[in-house]
Amino acid sequence: MKIPPSYQIDKNKIKNKKLKFAIIVAKWNHDVTKKLYKGAYETLIQSGILKEKIKTWEVPGSYELIYSAKKIALCYNFDSIIVIGSLIKGETHHFDYLCQSISQGIKDINIKYDVPVIFCVLTDKNKKQSFDRSGGKIGNKGIECAKTALYMAFFKNSI
Ligand code: RBF
């Protein structure tokens, strides 16, 4: 299987109907994460991935993305896993701790398991910024992450 030459995935190039994707969505700030999910899911479908090859799970918050991605990496054989979350800076220091531990946790899974885990966790100052990046004026990071997942699925299978 060849890796597509550019970051933009051409639907016609996706010949492999067996590629399997997992999407894990945190429900915290669900008004944001549901838009990221929509962007990611629709991008996979538009790229020719079969509906039945995309499996979705929901977890309470972004912190739970770590365990759930690990469990899915361990128990299944997906070609890529997309984790979706939205962290919004509040009054406490939790934001910094959460951002740090979630990115480290997802990084650890990428190292330990043979599946690319794509980081679609927004870390924003406020809701407006999050909406701008989840289908607003800056675009939709869910779409970008699905393209990355496609690319990495090809990469995984090319080696
Ligand atoms: N989860 C998120 O996905 N986004 C957040 O912005 C967020 N903020 C939180 C702020 C505080 C003070 C706490 C205690 C939790 C927050 N969580 C957030 C939830 C977290 O990811 C996790 O679900 C819980 O801490 C339970 O493990």
Q: Does residue 133 contact residue 140 with C-beta atoms inside 8 Å?
A: yes
Q: Assign residue 116 a region: left if phi > 0, alpha if psi is -120 to 50, beta otherwise?
A: beta
pLDDT one-digit tens code per residue, 94-126: 888 999 999 999 999 999 999 999 999 999 999
Query: pLDDT grade, residue 11 (50/70/90)?
Result: low
Distance 63 CA to ligand 1 centre (A): 7
**Kind plus residue range of the DSSP H or E element containing 149:** helix 141-158
Instruction: Specify the pLDDT at position 72.
Output: 98
Residue 150 marked in a binding site: no
| Domains of the chain and any CATH numbers | 12-158 (3.40.50.960)
Which residue puts its alpha carbon closest to atom 15 of ligand 1?
94
Average pLDDT over residues 139-153: 96
User: Does residue 8 carry a pLDDT above 90?
Assistant: no
30 in catalytic set:
no
The residue from 17, 30, 71, 94 that is catalytic is 94
Question: Which of 2-6, 81-85, 86-90, 135-139 has the lowest average pLDDT?
Answer: 2-6
Q: Assign residue 135 a region: left if phi > 0, alpha if psi is -120 to 50, beta otherwise?
A: left
- Residue by residue, DSSP assigns 72-138 as HHHH---SEEEEEEEEE--SSTHHHHHHHHHHHHHHHHHHHSSS-EEEEEEEESSHHHHHHTEEETT
With a Cβ cut-off of 6 Å, ligand 1 is lined by 26, 28-29, 60-64, 85-88, 90, 92, 94, 98
